[in-house]
Amino acid sequence: MFKKLDILDEKDKTLRKISKDVVFPLSKEDKNTIQKVIDELTYSQIEEYAEKYDLRPGMGLAFVQLGILERIIIIVHEVEEGIFDNYVFINPKIVSSSEEIIAAEAGEGCLSVNREVEGHVPRHARVTVEGFDEKGNKIRCRAREDLAIAFQHEIDHLNGILFYDKIDPKKPFYSDSEMRLI
């Protein structure tokens, strides 16, 4: 039986706290929560389920958005119609990033921000992320473009940062000549 996650709203001060490193082994509760997040993020990107369960589309979630101050992020990336790659990173760290800066042309959204936020969020075009899988094995991912943006967005959550904190109020939008918009 699918039950929608209780995602914190941006007004909740918990979202501004810094999450703590996870100690292995993972609790049964954490493992269950990871699976629930994967299910909801997947359903949210499939129109029929999104409508059925009243889900806003999202590709990533950090545990802090559920009120759990643990350094766990989950990204469900649609690589082809209906085909998803799941990334579960525990204690993730960006170990390298490109000099090239990009932004999502349509702007970024967040399951904790229930309103439209105008502006481009400057992000690295490519990042390498290291962390651990659910069993405590070291893992590494080289991400580019929209996946790189998702990793940076979710890791920011672990540090109490929301995407709109990175929008320059004096210059919220960039042209293609100033930054590559994807």
| 124-180: pLDDT as tens digits | 999 999 999 999 999 999 999 999 999 999 999 999 999 999 999 999 999 989 999
Whole-angstrom CA distances from 124 to 151, 167, 177 are 10, 14, 16
CATH no. for residue 97? 3.90.45.10
pLDDT for the residue 64: 98
Q: Does 65 map to a domain? A: yes
Question: How large is the average pLDDT for residues 114-133?
Answer: 97
pLDDT for the residue 1: 78
Q: Does 7 map to a domain? A: no
Q: How confident is the model at residue 68 (pLDDT cuts 50, 70, 90)?
A: very high
118 has catalytic annotation: no
Residue among 38, 56, 47 at smallest CA distance from 2 = 38
Q: For residues 65 and 83, what is the distance between their CA atoms, to the nearest angstrom? A: 25
* Residue at 9: amino acid letter: D
Q: Does 64 map to a domain? A: yes
Q: Does 103 map to a domain? A: yes
Q: Does 14 map to a domain? A: no
Write down the catalytic residue from 40, 70, 108, 154: 154
Q: Does 180 map to a domain? A: no
Domain total for the chain? 1
Q: Does 55 map to a domain? A: yes
Q: Does 175 map to a domain? A: no
Question: How large is the average pLDDT for residues 102-109?
Answer: 97
Range of the domain at 144: 22-168
pLDDT in tens, 5-62: 999 999 999 999 999 999 999 999 999 999 999 999 999 999 999 999 999 999 999 9
Please check the confidence at residue 111 and state whether its pLDDT lies above 90: yes
Strands 180-181 and 101-103, how do they pair?
A: parallel
